[in-house]
Structure 1
Protein backbone atom coordinates (compact mmCIF):
# COMPACT_ATOMS: atom_id res chain seq x y z
CA UNK A 1 0.00 0.00 0.00
CA UNK A 2 1.23 3.46 -0.85
CA UNK A 3 -0.01 6.59 0.85
CA UNK A 4 -0.79 9.95 -0.72
CA UNK A 5 -1.50 13.39 0.65
CA UNK A 6 -4.29 13.46 3.20
CA UNK A 7 -4.26 9.71 3.77
CA UNK A 8 -4.02 8.14 7.21
CA UNK A 9 -2.57 4.72 8.02
CA UNK A 10 -4.29 2.80 10.83
CA UNK A 11 -2.84 -0.55 11.86
CA UNK A 12 -4.43 -3.16 14.14
CA UNK A 13 -2.16 -5.80 15.68
CA UNK A 14 -2.58 -8.43 18.40
CA UNK A 15 1.01 -8.73 19.66
CA UNK A 16 0.37 -11.50 22.25
CA UNK A 17 1.95 -9.44 25.05
CA UNK A 18 5.23 -9.40 23.06
CA UNK A 19 5.91 -12.95 24.21
CA UNK A 20 7.16 -14.13 20.82
CA UNK A 21 9.82 -12.43 18.69
CA UNK A 22 9.60 -8.82 19.85
CA UNK A 23 12.10 -7.62 17.27
CA UNK A 24 9.97 -9.14 14.50
CA UNK A 25 6.92 -7.26 15.78
CA UNK A 26 8.87 -4.00 15.75
CA UNK A 27 10.20 -4.64 12.25
CA UNK A 28 6.68 -5.31 10.96
CA UNK A 29 5.28 -2.16 12.58
CA UNK A 30 8.11 0.00 11.24
CA UNK A 31 7.67 -1.52 7.79
CA UNK A 32 3.96 -0.66 7.81
CA UNK A 33 4.66 2.87 9.15
CA UNK A 34 1.25 3.50 10.73
CA UNK A 35 0.09 6.90 11.90
CA UNK A 36 -1.98 5.06 14.52
CA UNK A 37 -1.24 1.61 15.91
CA UNK A 38 -4.16 -0.11 17.65
CA UNK A 39 -2.64 -2.89 19.76
CA UNK A 40 -4.40 -5.81 21.36
CA UNK A 41 -2.83 -7.86 24.15
CA UNK A 42 -0.28 -5.21 25.02
CA UNK A 43 1.83 -5.94 28.12
CA UNK A 44 -0.24 -5.32 31.26
CA UNK A 45 1.50 -7.16 34.08
CA UNK A 46 4.31 -5.94 36.36
CA UNK A 47 5.86 -2.66 35.11
CA UNK A 48 3.59 -2.64 32.08
CA UNK A 49 3.91 1.14 31.64
CA UNK A 50 7.65 0.78 31.19
CA UNK A 51 7.10 -2.10 28.74
CA UNK A 52 4.63 -0.24 26.52
CA UNK A 53 6.71 2.95 26.54
CA UNK A 54 9.75 0.96 25.42
CA UNK A 55 7.72 -0.77 22.70
CA UNK A 56 6.41 2.58 21.46
CA UNK A 57 9.95 4.02 21.28
CA UNK A 58 11.19 0.98 19.37
CA UNK A 59 8.36 1.43 16.85
CA UNK A 60 9.03 5.16 16.48
CA UNK A 61 5.66 5.99 18.08
CA UNK A 62 4.35 7.44 21.35
CA UNK A 63 1.78 6.14 23.82
CA UNK A 64 -1.64 7.77 23.53
CA UNK A 65 -3.62 5.68 26.01
CA UNK A 66 -4.46 2.14 27.11
CA UNK A 67 -2.44 -0.87 28.16
CA UNK A 68 -3.14 -2.12 31.66
CA UNK A 69 -5.81 0.53 32.26
CA UNK A 70 -7.82 -0.84 29.31
CA UNK A 71 -7.14 -4.55 30.01
CA UNK A 72 -4.77 -4.89 27.07
CA UNK A 73 -5.86 -2.62 24.19
CA UNK A 74 -3.33 0.15 23.55
CA UNK A 75 -3.18 3.16 21.23
CA UNK A 76 0.13 4.41 19.86
CA UNK A 77 0.58 7.35 17.51
CA UNK A 78 3.13 8.93 15.22
CA UNK A 79 4.38 12.49 14.96
CA UNK A 80 1.47 13.56 12.73
CA UNK A 81 -1.06 12.74 15.45
CA UNK A 82 -2.38 15.37 17.83
CA UNK A 83 -4.38 13.99 20.75
CA UNK A 84 -7.44 15.96 21.79
CA UNK A 85 -8.61 13.64 24.56
CA UNK A 86 -8.36 9.98 25.52
CA UNK A 87 -10.49 7.47 27.40
CA UNK A 88 -9.95 3.93 28.61
CA UNK A 89 -12.97 1.69 29.16
CA UNK A 90 -13.27 -1.57 31.09
CA UNK A 91 -16.16 -3.61 29.72
CA UNK A 92 -18.41 -5.53 32.12
CA UNK A 93 -16.64 -8.71 33.18
CA UNK A 94 -18.37 -12.07 32.81
CA UNK A 95 -17.67 -14.31 35.83
CA UNK A 96 -15.02 -16.88 34.95
CA UNK A 97 -13.84 -14.99 31.86
CA UNK A 98 -11.05 -12.49 31.36
CA UNK A 99 -11.44 -8.74 31.63
CA UNK A 100 -12.00 -6.93 28.32
CA UNK A 101 -11.64 -3.26 27.48
CA UNK A 102 -11.25 -0.49 24.97
CA UNK A 103 -8.66 2.27 24.52
CA UNK A 104 -10.11 5.28 22.73
CA UNK A 105 -9.12 8.80 21.79
CA UNK A 106 -10.11 11.80 19.73
CA UNK A 107 -7.20 12.71 17.49
CA UNK A 108 -6.38 15.12 14.69
CA UNK A 109 -4.19 14.08 11.77
CA UNK A 110 -3.50 16.49 8.91
CA UNK A 111 -6.49 18.65 9.76
CA UNK A 112 -8.93 15.72 10.07
CA UNK A 113 -10.43 15.06 13.49
CA UNK A 114 -11.83 11.64 14.33
CA UNK A 115 -12.31 9.14 17.14
CA UNK A 116 -10.21 5.99 17.13
CA UNK A 117 -10.41 2.98 19.41
CA UNK A 118 -8.68 -0.35 19.92
CA UNK A 119 -10.48 -3.29 21.48
CA UNK A 120 -10.39 -7.05 21.89
CA UNK A 121 -13.55 -9.06 22.33
CA UNK A 122 -13.75 -12.30 24.29
CA UNK A 123 -14.23 -15.97 23.50
CA UNK A 124 -17.87 -16.20 24.64
CA UNK A 125 -20.41 -15.39 21.90
CA UNK A 126 -23.04 -13.90 24.20
CA UNK A 127 -20.47 -11.68 25.87
CA UNK A 128 -19.12 -10.54 22.49
CA UNK A 129 -22.57 -9.47 21.31
CA UNK A 130 -23.14 -7.46 24.50
CA UNK A 131 -19.70 -5.88 24.36
CA UNK A 132 -20.13 -4.86 20.70
CA UNK A 133 -23.07 -2.67 21.68
CA UNK A 134 -21.09 -1.09 24.51
CA UNK A 135 -18.05 -0.48 22.33
CA UNK A 136 -20.16 1.18 19.63
CA UNK A 137 -21.86 3.32 22.27
CA UNK A 138 -18.60 4.40 23.90
CA UNK A 139 -16.99 5.13 20.53
CA UNK A 140 -19.95 7.31 19.54
CA UNK A 141 -19.78 8.87 23.00
CA UNK A 142 -16.41 10.40 22.18
CA UNK A 143 -18.56 12.99 20.44
CA UNK A 144 -17.13 13.38 16.94
CA UNK A 145 -18.66 12.54 13.57
CA UNK A 146 -15.90 10.34 12.14
CA UNK A 147 -14.97 7.11 13.93
CA UNK A 148 -12.49 4.27 13.48
CA UNK A 149 -12.56 0.99 15.41
CA UNK A 150 -9.78 -1.59 15.18
CA UNK A 151 -9.44 -4.85 17.01
CA UNK A 152 -9.28 -8.56 17.49
CA UNK A 153 -12.94 -9.49 17.49
CA UNK A 154 -12.50 -13.24 18.01
CA UNK A 155 -15.06 -13.95 15.30
CA UNK A 156 -15.43 -13.40 11.57
CA UNK A 157 -17.93 -11.94 9.13
CA UNK A 158 -21.19 -13.87 9.26
CA UNK A 159 -21.19 -14.01 13.07
CA UNK A 160 -23.52 -11.77 15.11
CA UNK A 161 -20.94 -9.46 16.69
CA UNK A 162 -18.98 -8.82 13.51
CA UNK A 163 -22.12 -8.31 11.46
CA UNK A 164 -23.46 -5.84 14.03
CA UNK A 165 -20.26 -3.81 13.69
CA UNK A 166 -20.64 -3.92 9.91
CA UNK A 167 -24.20 -2.58 10.21
CA UNK A 168 -22.96 0.49 12.08
CA UNK A 169 -19.55 0.96 10.44
CA UNK A 170 -17.79 0.05 7.21
CA UNK A 171 -15.82 -3.20 7.30
CA UNK A 172 -12.56 -1.98 5.78
CA UNK A 173 -11.53 -5.19 4.03
CA UNK A 174 -15.02 -5.74 2.60
CA UNK A 175 -15.00 -2.20 1.18
CA UNK A 176 -11.47 -2.04 -0.25
CA UNK A 177 -9.53 -5.30 0.04
CA UNK A 178 -5.79 -4.78 -0.32
CA UNK A 179 -3.37 -7.51 0.71
CA UNK A 180 -4.25 -10.79 2.35
CA UNK A 181 -7.52 -11.44 4.15
CA UNK A 182 -6.77 -13.95 6.91
CA UNK A 183 -5.19 -13.01 10.25
CA UNK A 184 -5.29 -16.22 12.32
CA UNK A 185 -3.97 -18.76 13.30
CA UNK A 186 -0.20 -18.33 13.34
CA UNK A 187 0.70 -20.63 10.45
CA UNK A 188 -1.46 -21.10 7.36
CA UNK A 189 -4.09 -18.59 8.56
CA UNK A 190 -7.63 -19.22 7.40
CA UNK A 191 -9.76 -16.87 9.54
CA UNK A 192 -10.29 -13.12 9.50
CA UNK A 193 -10.86 -12.25 13.13
CA UNK A 194 -9.00 -8.92 13.16
CA UNK A 195 -10.22 -5.85 11.35
CA UNK A 196 -10.51 -2.11 10.94
CA UNK A 197 -13.96 -0.50 10.75
CA UNK A 198 -14.73 3.11 9.82
CA UNK A 199 -17.82 5.30 9.89
CA UNK A 200 -19.57 6.13 6.65
CA UNK A 201 -18.01 9.52 6.03
CA UNK A 202 -14.50 8.03 5.89
CA UNK A 203 -13.14 6.80 2.56
CA UNK A 204 -11.45 3.39 2.84
CA UNK A 205 -8.69 3.28 0.23
CA UNK A 206 -7.26 -0.12 1.14
CA UNK A 207 -7.38 -2.60 3.98
CA UNK A 208 -5.84 -6.00 4.65
CA UNK A 209 -2.83 -7.95 5.86
CA UNK A 210 0.24 -6.50 4.09
CA UNK A 211 1.48 -9.11 1.64
CA UNK A 212 5.05 -7.79 1.43
CA UNK A 213 6.03 -9.37 4.76
CA UNK A 214 7.10 -13.02 4.73
CA UNK A 215 5.06 -15.79 6.31
CA UNK A 216 8.07 -16.68 8.45
CA UNK A 217 8.32 -13.13 9.83
CA UNK A 218 4.63 -13.04 10.65
CA UNK A 219 4.75 -16.47 12.33
CA UNK A 220 7.75 -15.42 14.44
CA UNK A 221 6.14 -12.19 15.63
CA UNK A 222 2.72 -13.24 16.98
CA UNK A 223 -0.17 -15.68 16.65
CA UNK A 224 -2.12 -12.99 14.74
CA UNK A 225 -1.27 -11.07 11.60
CA UNK A 226 -1.82 -7.32 11.49
CA UNK A 227 -4.38 -5.41 9.47
CA UNK A 228 -3.36 -2.13 7.84
CA UNK A 229 -5.99 0.31 6.60
CA UNK A 230 -5.36 3.40 4.50
CA UNK A 231 -8.11 5.94 5.11
CA UNK A 232 -9.07 9.42 3.97
CA UNK A 233 -10.93 11.31 6.70
CA UNK A 234 -12.65 14.56 5.73
CA UNK A 235 -10.95 17.60 7.26
CA UNK A 236 -13.13 19.56 9.62
Structure 2
Protein backbone atom coordinates (compact mmCIF):
# COMPACT_ATOMS: atom_id res chain seq x y z
CA UNK A 1 0.00 0.00 0.00
CA UNK A 2 1.35 3.44 -0.86
CA UNK A 3 1.64 6.11 1.80
CA UNK A 4 -0.85 8.97 1.69
CA UNK A 5 1.96 11.44 2.34
CA UNK A 6 5.65 11.09 1.40
CA UNK A 7 7.81 9.72 4.20
CA UNK A 8 11.15 11.52 4.53
CA UNK A 9 14.42 9.69 4.92
CA UNK A 10 15.92 10.07 8.38
CA UNK A 11 19.09 9.44 10.34
CA UNK A 12 17.56 7.93 13.45
CA UNK A 13 20.95 7.85 15.20
CA UNK A 14 24.51 8.40 13.97
CA UNK A 15 25.03 5.70 11.32
CA UNK A 16 21.42 4.45 11.51
CA UNK A 17 19.62 5.59 8.36
CA UNK A 18 16.03 4.94 7.24
CA UNK A 19 15.25 5.28 3.52
CA UNK A 20 11.51 4.77 2.90
CA UNK A 21 10.34 3.14 -0.31
CA UNK A 22 13.80 2.35 -1.63
CA UNK A 23 12.96 -0.99 -3.23
CA UNK A 24 10.83 -0.84 -6.36
CA UNK A 25 7.80 -3.15 -6.64
CA UNK A 26 9.73 -5.25 -9.15
CA UNK A 27 12.71 -5.61 -6.81
CA UNK A 28 10.38 -6.62 -4.00
CA UNK A 29 8.77 -9.32 -6.14
CA UNK A 30 12.21 -10.66 -7.12
CA UNK A 31 13.29 -10.80 -3.49
CA UNK A 32 10.07 -12.55 -2.45
CA UNK A 33 10.57 -15.16 -5.17
CA UNK A 34 14.20 -15.71 -4.15
CA UNK A 35 13.28 -16.03 -0.48
CA UNK A 36 10.57 -18.56 -1.31
CA UNK A 37 13.13 -20.65 -3.15
CA UNK A 38 15.63 -20.47 -0.26
CA UNK A 39 12.89 -21.32 2.24
CA UNK A 40 12.44 -24.64 0.45
CA UNK A 41 16.06 -25.70 0.88
CA UNK A 42 18.70 -26.98 0.87
CA UNK A 43 18.13 -25.83 4.47
CA UNK A 44 14.42 -25.15 4.99
CA UNK A 45 13.02 -22.18 6.88
CA UNK A 46 12.54 -22.94 10.57
CA UNK A 47 11.83 -21.55 14.03
CA UNK A 48 15.26 -21.21 15.65
CA UNK A 49 15.68 -22.89 19.01
CA UNK A 50 17.70 -20.87 21.53
CA UNK A 51 20.23 -22.34 23.99
CA UNK A 52 17.78 -21.49 26.80
CA UNK A 53 15.27 -23.88 25.25
CA UNK A 54 13.00 -21.14 23.95
CA UNK A 55 11.92 -20.99 20.33
CA UNK A 56 11.91 -17.80 18.26
CA UNK A 57 8.46 -16.78 16.98
CA UNK A 58 9.88 -15.63 13.63
CA UNK A 59 10.89 -18.21 11.06
CA UNK A 60 14.39 -17.90 9.61
CA UNK A 61 16.31 -19.11 6.60
CA UNK A 62 19.91 -18.19 5.82
CA UNK A 63 22.01 -17.71 2.70
CA UNK A 64 25.80 -17.87 2.48
CA UNK A 65 26.34 -18.77 6.13
CA UNK A 66 23.90 -20.44 8.51
CA UNK A 67 23.21 -18.57 11.74
CA UNK A 68 22.56 -20.51 14.89
CA UNK A 69 22.76 -18.98 18.33
CA UNK A 70 25.31 -17.56 18.60
CA UNK A 71 27.64 -18.42 15.73
CA UNK A 72 27.80 -19.03 12.01
CA UNK A 73 28.45 -22.24 10.14
CA UNK A 74 28.44 -23.30 6.49
CA UNK A 75 26.22 -26.23 7.42
CA UNK A 76 22.90 -26.18 9.28
CA UNK A 77 23.95 -28.40 12.14
CA UNK A 78 20.76 -27.61 14.09
CA UNK A 79 18.42 -28.44 11.20
CA UNK A 80 19.47 -31.08 8.66
CA UNK A 81 23.26 -30.76 8.40
CA UNK A 82 23.08 -29.54 4.80
CA UNK A 83 25.25 -26.76 3.43
CA UNK A 84 23.34 -23.51 3.06
CA UNK A 85 22.57 -21.92 -0.31
CA UNK A 86 25.34 -19.86 -1.87
CA UNK A 87 25.22 -16.09 -1.52
CA UNK A 88 24.44 -14.74 -5.02
CA UNK A 89 26.47 -11.91 -6.64
CA UNK A 90 23.31 -9.93 -7.39
CA UNK A 91 22.61 -9.70 -3.66
CA UNK A 92 26.11 -8.29 -3.09
CA UNK A 93 25.39 -5.59 -5.68
CA UNK A 94 22.05 -4.80 -4.06
CA UNK A 95 23.80 -4.39 -0.71
CA UNK A 96 26.34 -2.01 -2.23
CA UNK A 97 23.63 0.11 -3.83
CA UNK A 98 21.77 0.19 -0.52
CA UNK A 99 24.85 1.37 1.36
CA UNK A 100 25.58 4.05 -1.24
CA UNK A 101 21.97 5.26 -0.97
CA UNK A 102 22.01 5.40 2.82
CA UNK A 103 25.42 6.99 3.32
CA UNK A 104 26.02 8.80 0.03
CA UNK A 105 29.52 7.32 -0.23
CA UNK A 106 30.01 5.41 -3.48
CA UNK A 107 33.66 4.59 -2.76
CA UNK A 108 32.95 3.03 0.63
CA UNK A 109 29.95 1.15 -0.75
CA UNK A 110 32.07 -0.36 -3.53
CA UNK A 111 34.10 -2.22 -0.93
CA UNK A 112 31.08 -3.59 0.89
CA UNK A 113 30.87 -7.34 0.33
CA UNK A 114 28.14 -9.02 2.36
CA UNK A 115 28.48 -12.79 2.50
CA UNK A 116 25.41 -13.80 4.46
CA UNK A 117 21.71 -12.94 4.61
CA UNK A 118 19.39 -13.71 7.51
CA UNK A 119 15.83 -13.81 6.25
CA UNK A 120 13.13 -13.54 8.91
CA UNK A 121 9.46 -14.14 8.17
CA UNK A 122 6.93 -12.68 10.59
CA UNK A 123 3.42 -14.10 10.61
CA UNK A 124 0.66 -14.12 13.19
CA UNK A 125 1.95 -12.49 16.36
CA UNK A 126 5.64 -13.00 15.68
CA UNK A 127 7.99 -10.45 17.21
CA UNK A 128 11.72 -10.07 17.78
CA UNK A 129 13.14 -9.08 21.16
CA UNK A 130 15.79 -6.43 21.65
CA UNK A 131 19.20 -7.77 20.67
CA UNK A 132 22.56 -6.82 19.14
CA UNK A 133 23.92 -8.23 15.89
CA UNK A 134 27.34 -9.13 17.25
CA UNK A 135 28.00 -12.69 16.09
CA UNK A 136 29.93 -11.36 13.07
CA UNK A 137 33.71 -10.88 13.14
CA UNK A 138 33.30 -7.74 11.06
CA UNK A 139 31.94 -4.33 12.07
CA UNK A 140 30.73 -3.57 8.52
CA UNK A 141 27.20 -2.10 8.38
CA UNK A 142 24.07 -4.24 8.38
CA UNK A 143 21.65 -3.61 5.49
CA UNK A 144 18.00 -4.36 6.28
CA UNK A 145 15.25 -4.65 3.66
CA UNK A 146 11.54 -4.90 4.46
CA UNK A 147 8.74 -6.41 2.36
CA UNK A 148 5.08 -6.94 3.22
CA UNK A 149 3.35 -5.78 6.38
CA UNK A 150 4.61 -2.65 8.13
CA UNK A 151 6.37 -3.22 11.44
CA UNK A 152 7.39 -1.14 14.43
CA UNK A 153 11.19 -1.26 14.44
CA UNK A 154 12.72 -0.28 17.77
CA UNK A 155 16.19 1.28 17.57
CA UNK A 156 17.87 1.45 20.95
CA UNK A 157 21.35 2.20 22.24
CA UNK A 158 24.57 0.21 22.53
CA UNK A 159 24.51 -0.21 26.32
CA UNK A 160 21.11 -1.60 27.28
CA UNK A 161 17.97 -3.26 25.93
CA UNK A 162 15.88 -0.59 27.61
CA UNK A 163 15.43 3.14 27.00
CA UNK A 164 16.45 5.33 25.37
CA UNK A 165 15.08 3.99 22.09
CA UNK A 166 13.25 5.27 19.01
CA UNK A 167 10.37 3.49 17.29
CA UNK A 168 10.32 3.67 13.49
CA UNK A 169 7.67 2.23 11.18
CA UNK A 170 9.25 0.16 8.40
CA UNK A 171 6.93 -0.37 5.45
CA UNK A 172 7.25 -2.57 2.38
CA UNK A 173 10.21 -1.48 0.26
CA UNK A 174 11.96 0.38 3.08
CA UNK A 175 15.72 0.29 3.57
CA UNK A 176 17.37 0.60 6.97
CA UNK A 177 21.13 0.60 7.47
CA UNK A 178 22.93 0.56 10.80
CA UNK A 179 26.68 0.99 10.94
CA UNK A 180 29.39 3.16 12.44
CA UNK A 181 28.44 4.26 15.96
CA UNK A 182 25.10 2.44 15.61
CA UNK A 183 26.48 -0.87 14.36
CA UNK A 184 25.91 -2.57 17.71
CA UNK A 185 22.72 -0.87 18.86
CA UNK A 186 20.09 -3.01 20.48
CA UNK A 187 17.10 -3.32 18.17
CA UNK A 188 13.96 -5.37 17.79
CA UNK A 189 10.46 -5.67 16.37
CA UNK A 190 7.80 -5.38 19.10
CA UNK A 191 4.88 -5.32 16.69
CA UNK A 192 3.84 -6.06 13.10
CA UNK A 193 0.80 -4.25 11.69
CA UNK A 194 -1.11 -7.10 10.05
CA UNK A 195 -2.84 -6.46 6.75
CA UNK A 196 -0.80 -3.39 5.79
CA UNK A 197 1.23 -5.04 3.02
CA UNK A 198 0.52 -4.99 -0.71
CA UNK A 199 -0.15 -8.44 -2.27
CA UNK A 200 1.34 -7.07 -5.51
CA UNK A 201 4.77 -7.72 -3.97
CA UNK A 202 4.05 -11.44 -4.16
CA UNK A 203 3.72 -11.68 -0.39
CA UNK A 204 0.05 -12.11 0.50
CA UNK A 205 0.42 -11.91 4.27
CA UNK A 206 3.13 -11.34 6.85
CA UNK A 207 6.41 -9.47 6.81
CA UNK A 208 9.69 -10.47 5.22
CA UNK A 209 12.93 -8.94 6.49
CA UNK A 210 16.25 -9.54 4.76
CA UNK A 211 19.42 -8.45 6.54
CA UNK A 212 22.72 -8.47 4.67
CA UNK A 213 25.88 -8.80 6.74
CA UNK A 214 29.63 -9.29 6.46
CA UNK A 215 30.61 -12.22 8.69
CA UNK A 216 34.38 -11.67 8.51
CA UNK A 217 34.77 -15.46 8.53
CA UNK A 218 36.89 -17.68 6.32
CA UNK A 219 35.37 -20.71 4.64
CA UNK A 220 36.73 -23.79 6.44
CA UNK A 221 36.14 -26.04 3.44
Question: TM-score under structure 1 normalisation?
Answer: 0.30
Query: Which has a greater percent of helix?
Result: 1
Greater relative contact order (Cα < 8 A, sep 6+) = 2
